[in-house]
Amino acid sequence: MEKISWIKDLVKAEQQMEESGLVDMSFGFDTDKILVTETIQYLLCLKNDFVDSSTAFNDLKPSAIGRIKIYGIAKTHADFMLFRNGFKMIFSLKSPGHISVRFNFIGSNYIPSPGLESASATTNVMDEHIIEAQWGAFSELVWTYQNQPIKLEYMVRHYLTLFIKESSK
């Protein structure tokens, strides 16, 4: 979210209150709007970090074979997917405050690593992971996985490593 958008919301709420003569108890703090905006912004930051990391991987890779491609997903706000060797890792806005991570393989020759699901023609290589926003102190949104706070850079490193490992087979 841009740095002063919340101030703009306060000014707008105050103007509406002055014009209507009614006192609004939520005065300038719309949690639903904040949650939608922050979820989209988090997905965009996640995508940018994956683009940077994938570009570095592709640049350091001596062969053009097996490079990572990143695609936006049509008709969505910020959803995207990584693609390589028949593997797709999809990051999507499941609902405000919830980001879904799914990892699929297209084909029939995939043998999963221990702990991952078995293969079929189109395989979910892992269960869907949900990254969830939780409200912290002073209305701060804290992004979590299984109720544990997460940092973007570590999340990107984890998922990109998993994606490269599984898609290199």
Q: Write down the pLDDT at residue 82.
A: 96
Contact predicate 62/40, CB 8 Å: no
102-139 CB burial, b ≥16 within 10 A, e <16: bbebeeeebeeeeebeebeeebebbeeeebbbeeeeee
**Token pair of 123, please?**
């395989």
Q: Write down the pLDDT at residue 111.
A: 54
Range of the structural domain that residue 46 is part of = 5-167
Q: How many domains does the chain have?
A: 1
**Token pair of 59, please?**
């640049």
**Token pair of 145, please?**
């996985």
Report d(CA 90, CA 72) in Å as an integer. Answer: 10
Q: Write down the pLDDT at residue 33.
A: 84
Q: Write down the pLDDT at residue 121.
A: 44
Q: Which of 157, 156, 93 shows the shortest CA–CA distance to 130?
A: 93
Q: Write down the pLDDT at residue 19.
A: 83
List the pLDDT tens digit at each of the 169 positions of the chain. 467 777 887 788 788 888 887 776 566 567 888 899 899 999 999 999 999 999 999 999 988 889 999 999 988 779 999 999 989 999 999 999 999 999 987 755 555 555 555 444 456 667 899 999 999 998 889 999 999 999 999 999 999 999 999 898 6
The whole model's pTM is what? 0.79
Q: Is 114 helix (H, G, I), strand (E, B) or coil?
A: coil
Q: Is 54 helix (H, G, I), strand (E, B) or coil?
A: helix
